[in-house]
Chains A and B, each alone.
Chain A
């Protein structure tokens, strides 16, 4: 067994999850592939969304995958960093908006 939870080489084995549950695995990869096709959003826009979500999910495999995917699409490092800030802003906003709940509770209990 590996001595760490994450091994970069495991990303290449992602497709193997299908071996232990073929139908569900195939359905997932078909869906995944379809999601990233050109649609109302361009594949470039989808790649940047994926990169931002990869960070908020803190998935090292996804970060590696979508950083490389962005480079392949000609996405600049400035665009990548801005996308991550969008994710970070939503994360911090989601924390802070709960401050209203705290304020409501304080006002109710001690107003």
Chain B
């Protein structure tokens, strides 16, 4: 289990250009596997184009209390990239006028941004239909100052989406660190106690499952059934939906794939599971990702690979929904992660 980010370790893979090189060389250069561009061209889906914006996802910083093995953000306590209140204000100007129905705050642990609560309070006033905060759960138990987060989320009608790799302690702690399972269970019980996750409750609590190793997620509905049964029987925990998300071969997961000699097999598995129907609904076509410093990306993964949007509007201060609609999505081989099987997005399967 790593305790430092790739950036802190000064790993070769902390460099996004190096990651993109790996994803373009080897099996994709020698023709063993088709590039993503040629694959989507087979079904006349190249270039992939942005549709009407539905989801505005804002990354408020890469700092996190955890150092999960497969984090695509390379987040951790040692990451200092944090969104300032000035950039948040620029985001709020956009949030007040956007046509998007979903606002999605992510990180890192978004709650660690010192202006997080102010931002949530202000953003909630905009009355966006679905206001998501991606909480890693353990943050709620990390320090006394976070203990009231369930009440805070409730007060602002925040939709909580939380990572939970498995319903057993062993598999959860292996991926996310010792003690994460017990803290996550406690946090879920506290969210349940204030009304989150209860059937028919308007306080939405969804869990995110991503595999703990070099394999693809199973059927989302079956996994949800297994999670619900186990969490109810063992801990009396309830939640609404489970989102099964595929690990994309970037950042720490790419590092793991290479170190464990699983990279080529994993890329083969992604390409074999390619589903053109998933391409139709891939999240970059209805989402815009904003980085901690206000730059715009097609998705959180492109943000981490430092692949900015292909548009004249490149920063939140230049935001223009009409200009961004219809832009060509920037792609590379990591995109196979979102088009495998039933597809994968921050909202789970798409096909």
Contacts and interface: CB of A to CB of B under 8 A. Distances in A.
Interface stretch (B102-110, B132-140, B144-152, B218-226): B218-226
A56 interface: no
A105 B167 CA distance: 54
A84 to B, nearest CB: 18
B215 A71 contact: yes
A74 B166 contact: yes
Contacts, number: 30
Chain A interface extent, by class? 10 to 19
Nearest to B269: A68
Nearest to B226: A74
A100 to B, nearest CB: 42
A76 B170 contact: yes
A71 B213 contact: yes
Q: Is the interface of A mostly helix, strand, loop or mixed?
A: helix
Interface centre among A72, A74, A76 (most CB of B within 10 A): A74
Given A74-B166, A76-B171, A44 B222 contact: yes
A8 to B, nearest CB: 8
Contact of A71 (B167, B211, B219, B222): B211
Contacts of A76: 168, 170-171
B61 interface: no
A73 B167 CA distance: 12
Contacts of A71: 211-213, 215
A76 B174 CA distance: 13
Nearest to B230: A74
Contact of A43 (B213, B216, B222): B222
A98 interface: no
B121 interface: no
A73 B218 contact: yes
Nearest to B216: A72
A72 B219 CA distance: 8
A12 interface: yes
A76 B168 CA distance: 8
Given A74-B223, A74-B226, A76-B171, A12 B268 contact: yes
B12 interface: no
Nearest to A38: B222
Contacts of A68: 215
Contacts of B167: 74
B217 interface: yes
Given A43-B222, A71-B211, A72-B217, 14 more contacts: A12-B268, A12-B272, A44-B222, A71-B212, A71-B215, A72-B211, A72-B215, A72-B218, A74-B166, A74-B167, A74-B223, A76-B168, A76-B170, A76-B171
17 contacts: A12-B268, A42-B222, A43-B222, A68-B215, A71-B211, A71-B215, A72-B211, A72-B215, A72-B217, A73-B218, A73-B219, A73-B222, A73-B223, A74-B167, A74-B218, A74-B226, A74-B227
Interface of B: 166-168, 170-171, 211-213, 215-219, 222-223, 226-227, 268, 272
Q: Which 5 A-B pairs have the closest CB atoms?
A: A72-B218, A73-B218, A71-B215, A72-B215, A68-B215
